[in-house]
Amino acid sequence: MSSATASDMPVPSQSAPQATTTLASTNFPPINIGTRRSTLAQIQAREVERALKNAYPDRTYNICPVLAQGDRDKVTPLLQLSQGENAKSLWTGELEAMLETGELDIIVHCLKDMPTQLPDNLEIGAILEREDPRDALIISPRLPKGTTLATLPSDATIGTSSIRRAAQLRKQYPEFQFADLRGNIGTRLGKLDAEDSQFSAIILAAAGLKRLGMEDRISQYLSSDNGGMLYAVGQGALAIEIRKNDEAMKQILTNIKCERTTWACSAERALLRALEGGCSVPIGVETSWRKLKTGLATGVEPAKEYGIDGKAIEEEDSLDNQELILKTLVVSVDGKDSVEYETARWIVSTEGAESLGKEAAKALLGKGADKILNKISKEKQWAAQKQLEQPVITT
């Protein structure tokens, strides 16, 4: 964490004379933190508030929950709501407008939900330490405890509306059925648990469940070597959106950002940007850090794999002697075609991480990911066309 603080900025009280800090802090207006209204979104906003309070205990903070258009309108089909001019504003339009006018100072987002292109005058000011990025299998209460993908009944119906999740599962478990499942996490769990539920299991991000204190519902953590599932770009990380010209806020955020997560997620987002995939294309990633081999002279230190769950990383281990491993996958919707690529590099900057992501994108395209992505994009256009021709269902 950087401790550089501009002289005209409020400084963390631990490192400043008490009187000065108190005097100075009274001159600073509260920091207004924008968030969506869901329980999880508000928990995430509090997580950011906690980090800020820890660095700047004398400042005041307001959490401002804002109802998004996407939360308000549950009737218009999602695909239709997200067409054309509304494309990026569905979930964040109101919040971003308030950030631009100065009503808000920052917006807390799940990085996973952020487009790779933001409005011109806004940017990501910081990415915080990642919560567990893995996907998780949640089973119906009617199934035996500890059921995994491998032990689910062969006629199981899995609930998910993520084509990334469904496509990866179809690839390995062609016998399963898949059904759409929308709503916030509570709604989805409710549909799984309902007496007459059609679902045997559902897939959710472990991060959301952990933040909600519902980790105990997780029956299996999925990863490249457990269930063969790679996660979504940015999954598990919180990002703070700010005005590009807000230098004061940028300075404040240097004290709460996580370099390790920023670099891993920068590689992931550069990959996504290069593949022009929105949030709904079946691109999976997995990033981890590994100690560099120190060479034969010192006797070979065995390369150490770090847990992909960020918690397994030993804090004191400096990034100076670790390389970032990036595993990537593009899979067709039916799971029948897929391309994988893995690469690793010693990273010293965000730019370096981005170039690793771009390299992976190029390699994937060279291995045939272009054909898979083109097919998906054609099918999407076709589906959008069809849906727009139909009247909006209002039941």
Ligand X SMILES: NCc1[nH]cc(CCC(=O)O)c1CC(=O)O
Q: Which residues are catalytic?
A: 113
Nearer to ligand X, 59 or 164 (CB): 164
Nearer to ligand X, 236 or 282 (CB): 236
> Residue 288: what residue type?
S
Which of these, 243, 234, 32, lies nearest to 120 by C-alpha position?
243
Number of Cβ within 10 Å of residue 324's Cβ equals 23
- Taking the complex as a whole, how short is the minimal distance between the CB of residue 236 and ligand X, in angstroms? 5
DSSP state of 369: I
d(CA 170, CA 181): 16
DSSP state of 146: T
- Taking the complex as a whole, how short is the minimal distance between the CB of residue 324 and ligand X, in angstroms? 19
Long-range residue pairs from 387-392, CB within 8 A, at least 24 positions apart, any chain = 387/77, 387/79, 387/80, 388/80, 388/83, 392/75, 392/76, 392/77, 392/80
d(CA 334, CA 174): 9
Nearer to ligand X, 69 or 355 (CB): 69
Burial class (CB in 10 A: 0-12, 13-18, 19+), 299: exposed
- Taking the complex as a whole, how short is the minimal distance between the CB of residue 110 and ligand X, in angstroms? 4
Give the pairing of strands 106-110 and 157-159.
unpaired
Number of residues that bind ligand X (CB under 6 A): 9
Copy the structure tokens of residue 387: 């849906």
Nearer to ligand X, 132 or 354 (CB): 132
> Residue 103: what residue type?
E
Nearer to ligand X, 165 or 243 (CB): 165
Strand intervals (E) in 55-115: 61-66, 106-110
Please report, as residue ranges, which positions from 112 to 131 form the binding site for ligand X (by CB under 6 A): 112-113
Asked if residue 41 binds ligand X (CB under 6 A), the reply is: no
- Taking the complex as a whole, how short is the minimal distance between the CB of residue 209 and ligand X, in angstroms? 8
- Taking the complex as a whole, how short is the minimal distance between the CB of residue 346 and ligand X, in angstroms? 27
Give the binding range for ligand X (CB under 6 A) out of 106-114, 261-269, 302-310, 320-328.
106-114
Nearer to ligand X, 273 or 371 (CB): 273
Please report, as residue ranges, which positions from 340 to 359 form the binding site for ligand X (by CB under 6 A): none
Handedness of CA 49, 50, 55, 59 (dihedral sign): positive
Site string for ligand X, 228-257 (x = CB under 6 A): -------xx---------------------
- Taking the complex as a whole, how short is the minimal distance between the CB of residue 340 and ligand X, in angstroms? 22
Please list the alpha-helical segments (H only) found in 26-102. 39-55, 69-72, 78-81, 93-101
Site string for ligand X, 192-231 (x = CB under 6 A): ------------xx-xx-----------------------
Nearer to ligand X, 10 or 159 (CB): 159
- Taking the complex as a whole, how short is the minimal distance between the CB of residue 210 and ligand X, in angstroms? 9
Burial class (CB in 10 A: 0-12, 13-18, 19+), 212: middle
Handedness of CA 178, 181, 226, 195 (dihedral sign): negative
Helix (H, G, I), strand (E, B) or coil at 188: helix
What stretch of H or E contains 356?
helix 350-364
Contact residues for ligand X, defined by CB under 6 A: 110, 112-113, 204-205, 207-208, 235-236
